Amino acid sequence: MLDSFGLEVLRRDECVALLSAVNVGRVVYTRRGLPAVQPVRFVLRDEDVLCGAPAGSALFAAADGNVVAFEADIFAPDLASGWYVTVLGRAAELRNGSVAAALPDLSWRPRTDDRFLRIPIEVVTGRRLG
């Protein structure tokens, strides 16, 4: 199915499969009333996006407990093909210690106070080009 702009609309399972194949995305949130965005390393676990966030970061402070968007994409260099997927969900700190202990390093620079944010895939939309 094509949307009104001529892009292929992806199903939820297609979006989830695409997200599981990449390792970087962007958390989109609101900071002091303004749009904000932070690239993050992430993994998918049981249809939750799990990403790293230093405890003292603006991302962690603003996202924990709030609805955020999460986006990932891949485009060919010539932009003739590619896809993008956007998730909406209420972010929360991942407090399950056994799940956290099994995660790979997800910070840009590992620190002892690193935390994880969990973004459940409550709403997901995706488009494919080419």
Binding stretches for a copy of itself (CB under 8 A): 4-7, 23-24, 26, 28-30, 34-37, 39, 41, 54, 56-57, 67-69, 71, 73, 75, 79, 84, 86, 88, 107-109, 111, 127, 129
Coarse DSSP helix, strand, coil percentages of the chain, rounded to the nearest 5 percent: 15, 50, 35
Alpha helices (H) along the chain: 12-19, 58-63, 97-101
Pair 7, 50: CB distance under 8 Å: no
If the CB atoms of residues 76 and 96 are measured against a copy of itself, the closer one turns out to be 76
Q: Closest separation between CB of residue 24 and a copy of itself, Å? A: 5
Q: Closest separation between CB of residue 120 and a copy of itself, Å? A: 15
Of residues 66, 65, 92, 83, the one with CA closest to residue 124? 83
Q: Closest separation between CB of residue 20 and a copy of itself, Å? A: 16
If the CB atoms of residues 118 and 127 are measured against a copy of itself, the closer one turns out to be 127
